[in-house]
Amino acid sequence: MTHRQSLLALHLTGVIGPRRLKSAREAFPDLLDLFGASEEKLAQLPDWTAACARKVLALKEPLRRVEEELERAEQSGIQAVVEGEDGFPAVFNDLYDPPFVLWRKGKYLPEDEKSIAVVGCRKPSAYGRQIALRLAEDIAKAGYTVVSGLARGIDSLAHQGALHHPKGRTVAFLGSGLLNLYPPENGPLAEAVAKRGALFSEYPLQARPLALHFPQRNRLISGAAKGVLVVEAKKDSGSFITVDHALEQGRAVFAVPGPIHNAQSEGAHALIQQGAKLVMGAEDIFHELHDLGAEAVYKSRSLKASPSPGEIQTTEEEKKVLDKLGYTPLHVDALAREAGVALRRLNEILLLLEMKGLVQQAPGHCYFKV
């Protein structure tokens, strides 16, 4: 096996992370020697356990396993990028615990390093939804890539807002394997992200969305960005894990204020009290980052009139759905019946209409015309 194949083989065991790999490298400068070591010697490595050692040594025919996984990835348009290779985000090289293998669908460009992470709660209010969509689009409008985790709620809205801008780019870091997408209903959104950015995961292709994956994934969301913007989050929210990572990594932290009686805004308010930059508009982010160029671009593009709903092109199928929507939220089940569209297909159409800024989602799987 080559060094690259050795890294992939260790990665596929599912038990080797950055810290265990560091210990292995210190003991075995040539990682190929690791596969011939005894269980006792491996179990004595810092951060390793006997169970971990057995898992590694139980990997039969590691080269064949690696080749099978790479073939499976290729069939799905996915690539494995290993540390030091082209396409591996250079911003991760300075992290304390950088990933050593990433699976990627889509393209990650050098300009994607100029990015802002947008995170928040899974069940945002109507206010939070509106703000997340608008700020993400405005961030993209200024030439920044929007980074998030493709989770329900604010994460999904952040990606959608970026995609709403004609040239907007967005990158998602997942807490599951790229062939085991979570949440599953975000399949259409994931495909859209891959076309105008990239999907990344540091877990094997079929890895399940285990709870322990998400805090670890969050360090990549913050590490890939210049700063982290929190839009609606409770005090015990997972967004605070991302913020903690951001502070450790020297990234800026931003927060959007909300109604003082809304529990979803408690986290953002706490962050502001602790020194996070209060954000009332995207220009506050660019000003804090001393990016005068982005401020100028944002302002110049904001002066251009956005197309009216009548000027936005829609398919006959999309028009049929729009005709059944009003300004009062309508549940997707009722909308499917009235429009005569299968629910699965309706979800895809609604996502496209959201990206075009023609509809918006309300709590309880309801939609209304914008």
The dihedral over CA atoms of 110, 114, 115, 116, expressed in degrees to the nearest 10, equals: 170
Contact 285, 227 (CB under 8 A): yes
Rounded CA separation 182/89 (Å): 23
Tell me if residue 254 falls in helix, strand or coil: strand
Q: For 83-111, what is the mean pLDDT?
A: 93
Cα–Cα distance for residue pair 90/197, rounded to 1 Å: 16
Structure confidence at residue 326 (pLDDT): 80
Residue 327 has pLDDT above 70, yes or no: no
Which pTM value belongs to this model?
A: 0.81
Burial of residue 4, with CB atoms counted within 10 A of its CB: 0-12 exposed, 13-18 middle, 19 or more buried: middle
Token pair of 161 as six digits: 């807002």
pLDDT (0 to 100) of residue 309: 55
Query: Would you place residue 305 in the very low, low, confident or very high pLDDT band (cuts 50, 70, 90)?
Result: very low
Structure confidence by residue, pLDDT tens digits, 224-260: 999 999 999 988 888 999 999 999 999 999 999 998 8
CB atoms within 10 A of CB 84: 12
Distance CA 268, CA 257 (A): 6
Angle made by CA atoms 181, 198, 215, in degrees to the nearest 5: 55
Nearest to 329 by CA among 157, 126, 42: 126
pLDDT over 90 percentage in the chain: 73
Read off the tokens for 295: 């401020």
Cis geometry, peptide bond prior to residue 259 (ω within 30 degrees of 0):
no
Closest CA to 217 of 170, 251, 173, 156: 173
Give the separation between CA 271 and CA 277, rounded to whole angstroms: 8
Average pLDDT value over all residues in the chain: 91
Of 163 and 292, the one with more pLDDT: 163
Task: Say what the pLDDT of residue 260 is.
Answer: 86
Q: What is the pLDDT of residue 354?
A: 85
